[in-house]
Structure formats: structure tokens, C-alpha cells
Amino acid sequence: MYKIDETIIKLVKGDITKIEVDAIVNAANNTLLGGGGVDGAIHRRGGSEILEQCKKIGGCPTGEARITTAGKMPSKYVIHTVGPIYRGGKNREEELLYNAYYNSLLLAKEYNLKTIAFPSISTGAYGYPIDSASDIAIKAVLDFIEKESFIEKIAFVLFNDSDYRIYENKLNKLGLEG
Ligand code: ADP
């Protein structure tokens, strides 16, 4: 657990669909109609209500975010965001990944949500190297806390040990241990 201002940053190892927060974030694709990885798991666990709402929303540009119910999952909402597909790093990937995190947090703020959990956006099928992706994720979160310090808890939910250790090392180095 880490603390910055009034916000707790937590690392969790495991499955984001089992986490109980106000909103879990989905690493979706532009169609919002479901896919593999974390997206597939969220739609499977949450049930058809999520897909129905996603169909009405009608898609989401890369770097933006949309919100639906979390259906049968323990959380209240799913914030669907679309990270960039990594194509070498010179196609605005950094900016788009940053925006995916930041815009998810802004949407949480708009809905007055206090606790949010992120998966590692873009680092699965979309191929973003975890080392730089985690730097961007942490920077977006810290920037948000600095500017909008309303949120109580932000969790990074990492699906595998090595991703977890990368985040742990980076947060430890920032001296945020609480
Ligand atoms: P993207 O297409 O944005 O790369 P993926 O879902 O392919 O999204 O992968 C993003 C990350 O989510 C990967 O690190 C993957 O291991 C992880 N992941 C897959 N399933 C889950 C889950 N149920 N909970 C949390 N993380 C998950």
C-alpha cells in the first residue's frame, strides 16, 4: 500500500473481475463489443447487460473512456477504455496510453466514484512493453492525484508475478511506501 496526499495506491495480484471497487477499468477495443484477455473475462463474468449497454454506446476512440454497469461482478461500474496497439512507439502510443488512464479517472470523477481498479492496459494482445507502459500508468495516476485529489483508492491489478514486481519496484523507488 502506498499513500500520496489522501489517495491510497494499492497493488493487487490476480483477476480484476473479482475486485470490489466502485469501478473496474476494462482494456477494451474500439468496438466495445468484447474481445480476449481482460475484456473477455469482464464480459463473461459481468454478463450480457454489459454488452447491451456497450452496443448502445456504439464504440470508443483510442485514449477515451466510457462507462457501463458491472453486471454480476462485485464492483458497481466498468469503465471501458481503449489503449493503443503498440507499433514501435512512434505512433502517439505514449500519449494515447496516458490518455486512457487519465480519461478513465476523469470519468470516475464525473460519476463521483471513490475507488477504481486498473488492469495493465495495452500490455497483453496490444503489445505495449510493460516497462514503459507501467511508467505511463503511474505518471497518469500521480498527475491525476496532484490535480484532482478527490479519489480514495486506486488499485493496479496485475495478472502475473513479473508485472506485479515491476510495479512494486517502481512505486517503491518513488518513496511512496505507506
Ligand atoms: P490489451 O489488448 O489492452 O493489451 P489484454 O487483455 O490483452 O489487453 O491484456 C492486458 C493485461 O491484462 C495483460 O497483462 C493480461 O495478462 C491482463 N489480464 C488478462 N486477464 C485479466 C484479468 N481477468 N484480470 C486482470 N488482468 C488480466
The pTM (predicted TM-score) of the whole model is 0.97
What would the mean pLDDT of 10-30 be, rounded to a whole number?
A: 98
Chain CA centroid to CA 64, Å? 12
| Separation of CA 24 and ligand 1 centre (Å) | 13
Could you report the per-residue pLDDT of 50-61, keeping only the tens digit for each?
999 999 999 999
Predicted confidence at residue 62, as pLDDT, reads 98
Q: Is 26 in the pocket of ligand 1 (CB under 6 A)?
A: no
Q: Is 122 in the pocket of ligand 1 (CB under 6 A)?
A: yes
Set of cell numbers at residue 19? 475486485
Instruction: State the number of CA atoms in the 13 A half-sphere of 34 facing the CB.
Output: 15
Dihedral angle sign, alpha carbons of residues 161, 129, 10, 112: negative
CATH assignment of the domain containing 136: 3.40.220.10
Using alpha carbons, select from 117, 123, 100, 112 the residue that is nearest to residue 156. 117
| Separation of CA 120 and ligand 1 centre (Å) | 6
| β-pair partners for 117 | 24, 155
Predicted confidence at residue 178, as pLDDT, reads 53
Structurally, the chain folds into a number of domains equal to: 1
pLDDT at 177 over 60: no
Q: Is 120 in the pocket of ligand 1 (CB under 6 A)?
A: yes
Range of the domain at 14: 2-174
